């Protein structure tokens, strides 16, 4: 005999199961939506951070441009993925760098920078390295075209020294890393007056309005690598070549860490 009470209980169980299933679907839906929202926020935050960093370096390029040219930019200048524009504010220069929605404003005291140099490749920052056996400096391409070189010559009056490697990085551009290392050169370490072809890359290109950081590292008293040498306050004459064609000659006055 069929009891109506049993049918009611079965229907109740089925109804409870359906409600539980719907509740699970709703909870999973909420969790999925929350996860997607979190990922979107994280991605947006990362993108904004990258754009902010790019805007900072773009504004920094504007500062270097204004200080070297000693004038405001005639119009916004394209730099990598953004633009910079430098204006005068009293005795200071104000540079605004913009990349996408990101904007950075930098102010600088127009203190004289090193130079002048020839043909638009200008030294904009001398040695400020904490270790005196390294010589880092920056050069900016103030021409309207690329500057390419694959060979260097370095001259200085004193002291006698040999260095171990050269690194070059285009700011907000190509990082060429170590362009020359003595371990890969049959002639060994580089010394005063040597002219060497880069042995790690075919050539280095600095695009128009870009700045490149150049670092010569590991000055030693002997060709065998013994004894560090203090290169602070040493004037370097750096000559750049593209094969056998002279590209530029730079005067770099290194300075001790302030």
Domain count, the chain: 2
Highest mean pLDDT among 44-58, 90-104, 206-220, 243-257: 206-220
Nearest to 95 by CA among 57, 123, 128, 141: 57
Is residue 245 assigned to a domain?
yes
pLDDT for the residue 238? 92
Nearest to 79 by CA among 102, 61, 104, 67: 61
- What is the C-alpha radius of gyration for the chain, rounded to an integer number of angstroms? 30
Query: pLDDT tens-digit profile of 143-189?
Result: 878 899 999 999 999 889 999 999 999 988 999 999 999 999 999 99
Is residue 258 assigned to a domain?
no
Query: pLDDT tens-digit profile of 31-48?
Result: 666 566 655 555 555 666
Shared-domain flag, residues 47 and 68:
yes
pLDDT band at 114 (very low <50, low <70, confident <90, very high): very low
pLDDT for the residue 171? 86
pLDDT for the residue 44? 54
- Choose the final residue of a domain: 112, 138, 162: 112
pLDDT for the residue 118? 40
pLDDT band at 130 (very low <50, low <70, confident <90, very high): very low
Shared-domain flag, residues 82 and 7:
yes
Shared-domain flag, residues 82 and 138:
no
For tokens 């040597």, name the residue: 194
Name the pTM for this structure: 0.58
The string of DSSP codes covering 36-60 is HHHHHHHHHHHHHHHHHHHHHHHHH
Q: Which helix (H) or strand (E) holds 138?
A: strand 135-141
Q: Which domain holds residue 34?
A: 1-112
Shared-domain flag, residues 129 and 239:
yes
Shared-domain flag, residues 99 and 208:
no
Is residue 218 assigned to a domain?
yes
CATH code, domain with 197: 2.60.120
Shared-domain flag, residues 107 and 131:
no
User: Over 50: is that where the pLDDT of 244 sits?
Assistant: yes
């Amino acid at each position: 005999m069929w009891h109506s009470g049993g049918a009611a209980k079965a229907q109740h169980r089925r109804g409870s199961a359906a409600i539980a299933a719907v509740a699970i679907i709703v909870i999973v839906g909420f969790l999925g939506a929350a996860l997607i929202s979190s990922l979107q926020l994280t991605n947006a935050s990362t993108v904004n951070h990258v754009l902010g960093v790019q805007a900072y370096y773009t504004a920094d390029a504007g500062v270097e441009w204004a200080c070297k040219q000693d004038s405001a930019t005639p119009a916004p200048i394209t730099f990598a993925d953004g633009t910079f524009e430098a204006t005068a504010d009293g005795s200071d220069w104000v540079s605004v760098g913009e990349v996408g929605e990101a904007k950075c404003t930098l102010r600088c005291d127009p203190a004289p920078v090193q130079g002048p140099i020839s043909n638009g490749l200008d030294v904009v920052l001398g040695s400020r390295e904490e270790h005196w056996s390294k010589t880092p400096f920056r050069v900016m391409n103030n021409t309207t075209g690329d500057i390419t070189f694959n060979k260097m010559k370095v001259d200085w009056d004193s002291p006698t020294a040999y260095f171990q490697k050269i690194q070059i990085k285009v700011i907000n551009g190509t990082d060429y890393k170590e362009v020359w290392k003595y371990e890969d050169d049959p002639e060994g370490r580089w010394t005063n007056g040597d002219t060497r072809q880069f042995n790690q890359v075919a050539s280095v290109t600095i695009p128009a309005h870009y700045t490149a950081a150049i670092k010569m590292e590991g000055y030693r008293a002997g060709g065998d690598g013994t004894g560090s040498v203090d290169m602070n306050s040493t004037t370097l004459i750096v000559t750049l070549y593209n094969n056998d064609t002279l590209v530029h000659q730079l005067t770099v006055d290194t300075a001790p860490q302030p």
